[in-house]
Amino acid sequence: MIALSLPDGSVRQFEAPISGAELAADISKSLAKKALAVTVNGELRDLTRTIDTDAEVRVITAADEDIALPLIRHDAAHVMAQAVQDLYPGTQVTIGPAIDNGFYYDFARETPFTPDDLEKIEARMKEIVAADLPLIREEWDRDTAIKTFRDMGEAYKAEIIEALPEEAPISVYRQGDWFDLCKGPHLPSTGKLGTAFKLTKLAGAYWRGDSNNEMLQRIYGTAWANDKQLKAYLTMLEEAEKRDHRRLGREMDLFHMQEEAPGAVFWHPNGWALFRALIDYMRRRQEAAGYVEINTPSVMDRAMWETSGHWQTFREHMYTTQTEDERIFALKPMNCPGCLSVYRSATRSYRDLPLRIAEFGKVNRYEPSGALHGLMRVREFTQDDAHIFCTPEQMEDECRTVVELIMDIYKDFGFTDVRIKFSDRPDKRIGDDATWDKLESALKGALDHMGLPYSHNPGEGAFYGPKLEFVLRDAIGRDWQCGTLQVDMNLPARFQAVYVDKDDTRKPPVMLHRALFGSLERFIGILTEHYAGRFPLWLAPRQAVVATITSDADDHARAVLKALQAAGLKAEADLRNEKINYKIREHSDAKVPVILVVGKREAEEGTVAIRRLGGKDQEILALDKAVATLSDEAAPPA
RNA sequence: GCCGGUAUAGCUCAGCUGGUAGAGCACCUGAUUUGUAAUCAGGGGGUCGCGGGUUCGAACCCUGCUGCCGGCACCA
C-alpha cells in the first residue's frame, strides 16, 4: 500500500507501486494526455518510472514551463542526434544539453555540416516526432556500457562513462532503434516534443570546453511548447537585432570601424558627444567623491612593464614598438604603472591618504581576433580607471565608498538590477595567507556592512588580490560585467611605493584598483542597446531639431535654435525645403528626442510645437518656456 | 587563436549553370512652400575586400591573406 499526496493536498492510495503515467491516468483522462513527467518528492522523473513508496507527487505538463521547457529542449537534442546519425552514419555523438531558449548537441564528424544540412536534419527530426517513438529508460552495467559504446565507435560516450563515479547508475534512453547515454529524465515519447523547434546555428566547440582538445561541431536549436512561443521568440530575436549597437551606431552615425584598425573605434561627432557626456558626468561625480585626475603616457619602456610584472604575465596581449635607438617600448595595456609613477613622484605622508587618483586612460590590448565584437570587445579602449592609495586601516571604508559610488552611478542609467560577484584567492597567487585574509575580509566586510548580497567565485581572484565584479542587467535582460574593484598589496611593493607613517617609518600603501563603466567604449555599446538608441535627453548626442513647415518660419526657427544653443542644448535647425512629414520621419528615425516644429502660426505667435520621440501629441509652448523646460530636462543627474 | 559562414555603390541587397554589373534608400540638380513618420522629375557614383591561379574570357571556379558575422576558447 502506498500513499501519494498531490499538490492540491489530496492523497491517493494504491495497492501496488504505480508509474507516473498510471497515476496521471488515475487522476483524469485529460491529465494523462498532457502529462510529460512527474516530480517525486521534488525529484524530476520519467513518467514511466515506478513510484514504490509514499511520496509527494506532482504531474508535470507543458503549463509548468520552468520544468517542461528544459525537458522539451533536452528531448529535442536527442531527436536531433538521432536525425544526424540517421542521415550521416559514422558521426559520433558527445553531449547535448538543454540551454536557455533551446538546446545544442556536439558531434564529432570529419566533414563539416553545412547550413543546408540543418534543413535536412530538421526535416528528419519532424519524421521522428511524427513516429512518436516511446522513450524507454534502461539501466546498464558500467563495463557493458563502456564496451558497447566503444564497439559502436562512440569513443566520446565511452569516455564520458569512464569519467563518471564508479557507483553512478548508467542510464540509457532508447527511442526506436536509436539510443543514447543520458541521465534523463525524458518525455514519454518523441511525439510529445511537438514541432515548435528550429535549428538555428552551426558552431565549433572544444571537447569538454578545453581549447587543448579537438574541436567538435555544435548544432544549436531553439525549442518551445508551441508554435506561438516559438514565433514570439523569433520575433524577440529580430527586435534584439534592431537594437544591436553596431547597427544603431551606423544608423545614428555614432562611430565606425575599418579594416586597417581591427578592434579600434573611429568616433564620429555624435558618438563622441556621447563619450564626452559620460566623461563629463563621471568627472563631476569623482571630483565630488574626493578624487584627483591625472594623465600618463601611452608608450613606456619595457623596463616599466618588467617591474609591474606585465612583461612576464601579460606579454602576449601587449603591443610593442621598436625604435631606431633599439629600445623596446610597449603600449600600456593598463594604467596602474603610470599611476604608481605619479604616486612615487613625491614623498607621501599618512596625512595624504587616502589618495584617490583617477585617469581616463586609453589602453591597448592585443585581444584574440575571434573575441572582437563591435564596441563590446575592442583592442583599444578608454577606462574610467582610478587607484586609491590608503592605509590598511582605511581599506575597508574605501571599499565601501567605492561600492556606494558604483551602485549610485548605475542607478542614474536605469540599471537597478546589479549583481556582485566576489572572487577570492586563486591557487596561483603571491603574498602570504595573512595578507589575503585581510584583503578578502575588507572586500567582504564592505559588502556585509552595506547589506549587499553577492555570489562567491572561489579561486577566481587576481593573482595579486581578491576582486569584486559588478554585473548589470540591461533593459532586455542581458548581463554585462562592467565595474570592478580589486585590492592589491603587491604592485605598490613591486614599485617600492611607500608612505611615511606617524611613527616616521615607511610603509607600503594598500592599492585599490577600480573602474565603474569599465571601458567607455563598451559602456556606450551597452547603453545603446539598453536604451535601444533612445538615449535620455542628457546623453543624447543630438538633443533637439527645429524643423520648419514653410520658409516663412525660417527666421523664427533661427531664433529658436539660437535660444536653445544659448541654453546649452545640442540643437540643430532643419530649414530644408521638405514636407514636415519627411522631416519628422527622418529625425525620428535618427532617434532625436525632441523635434520643435515651427510653421507660420508659431512664427507669428512666438511659440514652438514640441514633439517628443515616439509620441503622437504635440505641446505648444512659448519659446522661453520651452527652452527652460528642455534645458531643465537636459541637465545631467547631479 | 579554433570551427563554420561571409565580403558587389555611403547603407540594405539582386546578379541563373563563367561572357567585364543592377535596384531601393542616401547624395547632387531642378520643380514643389508643404501642419506632424517617405512630394515629383532628372543626374552622378562601383579597381565586385586584397594577392595568386584555372580559362579565349572570372563578381561568379580554385588557392593564400585580411576584415566582418555566428559560436568555442580567452576577457589578467
| Pair A523, A397 in one domain | yes
Strand-pairing partners, residue A104, are: A220
| Pair A361, A496 in one domain | yes
Sort strands A266-267 and A255-256 into parallel, antiparallel or unpaired. antiparallel
Q: Is residue A562 annotated as part of the catalytic site, yes or no? A: no
Task: Tell me the CA–C1' distance in angstroms for A310 and B33.
Answer: 66
User: Which one, of A195, A236, A185, lies nearest residue A46 by Cα?
Assistant: A185
| Pair A426, A525 in one domain | yes
User: Which one, of A422, A143, A378, A102, lies nearest residue A264 by Cα?
Assistant: A378
C-alpha grid cell, residue A209: 570546453
| Pair A117, A211 in one domain | yes
3-state helix, strand, coil in chain A (%, to 5): 40, 30, 35
Is residue A513 part of an annotated ligand binding site? Answer: yes
Residues above pLDDT 90, as percent of chain A: 78
Q: Is residue A502 annotated as part of the catalytic site, yes or no? A: no
Mean pLDDT of A393-415: 94
Who among residues 221-260 of A has its Cβ near strand B, under 7 Å?
246, 250, 257, 259
Has residue A614 got a pLDDT over 90?
Answer: no
Among candidate residues A332, A379, A513, A514, the one labeled active-site is: A513
**A332 is in which domain, residue-wise?**
255-530
Report the distance separating Cα A592 and Cα A576, nearest Å: 17
pLDDT band at A425 (very low <50, low <70, confident <90, very high): confident
Flag whether A324 is in a domain. Answer: yes
* Minimum CA–C1' distance nucleotide for A617: B36
Has residue A124 got a pLDDT over 80?
Answer: yes
Task: Tell me the CA–C1' distance in angstroms for A320 and B49.
Answer: 28
Report the distance separating Cα A475 and Cα A528, nearest Å: 11
Residues 6+ apart with CB under 8 A from A62: A34, A36, A68, A72, A225, A226
CA angle A472, A384, A512 (to 5 degrees): 90
Total number of domains in chain A: 4
Flag whether A244 is in a domain. Answer: no
* Minimum CA–C1' distance nucleotide for A216: B3
C-beta of residue A628 within 8 angstroms of C-beta of residue A622: no
Whole-number Cα distances in Å, A158 to A80, A88, A136, A142, A372: 20, 20, 20, 10, 36
Flag whether A249 is in a domain. Answer: no
Task: Indicate if ipTM > 0.90.
Answer: yes
Strand-pairing partners, residue A373, are: A377
| Pair A452, A508 in one domain | yes
Q: Is the CB of A600 under 7 A from strand B?
A: yes
Is residue A387 part of an annotated ligand binding site? Answer: yes
pLDDT band at A435 (very low <50, low <70, confident <90, very high): confident
Has residue A51 got a pLDDT over 90?
Answer: no
pLDDT given for residue A152 in this prediction: 94
**CATH code: domain of residue A553:** 3.40.50.800
| Pair A27, A114 in one domain | no
Q: Is the CB of A457 under 7 A from strand B?
A: no
Has residue A1 got a pLDDT over 90?
Answer: no
| Pair A56, A77 in one domain | no
C-beta of residue A171 within 8 angstroms of C-beta of residue A145: no
* Minimum CA–C1' distance nucleotide for A202: B4
Flag whether A535 is in a domain. Answer: no
Report the distance separating Cα A436 and Cα A446, nearest Å: 15
| Pair A259, A218 in one domain | no
The helix/strand/coil state of A381 is strand
**CATH code: domain of residue A97:** 3.30.980.10
| Pair A626, A568 in one domain | yes
pLDDT band at A15 (very low <50, low <70, confident <90, very high): confident
Nucleotides of B under 7 A from a protein CB: 1-5, 11-12, 31-39, 66-76
Task: Tell me the CA–C1' distance in angstroms for A129 and B57.
Answer: 52
Last residue of a domain, one of A498, A530, A562: A530
| Pair A485, A597 in one domain | no
Report the distance separating Cα A275 and Cα A227, nearest Å: 43
| Pair A56, A80 in one domain | no
| Pair A148, A268 in one domain | no
**CATH code: domain of residue A24:** 3.10.20.30
Sort strands A571-574 and A544-548 into parallel, antiparallel or unpaired. parallel
Hey, how many other C-beta atoms are within 10 angstroms of the C-beta on A396? 20
Report the distance separating Cα A345 and Cα A239, nearest Å: 53
Has residue A638 got a pLDDT over 80?
Answer: no
The upper half-sphere exposure of residue A267, i.e. CA atoms within 13 Å in the direction of its Cβ, equals 17
Flag whether A618 is in a domain. Answer: yes
Among candidate residues A82, A217, A286, A383, the one labeled active-site is: A383
Flag whether A448 is in a domain. Answer: yes
**CATH code: domain of residue A328:** 3.30.930.10
Mean pLDDT of A531-550: 96
Flag whether A538 is in a domain. Answer: no
Flag whether A250 is in a domain. Answer: no
Report the distance separating Cα A31 and Cα A41, nearest Å: 19
Who among residues 339-378 of A has its Cβ near strand B, under 7 Å?
365, 367-374, 377
C-alpha grid cell, residue A576: 530644408
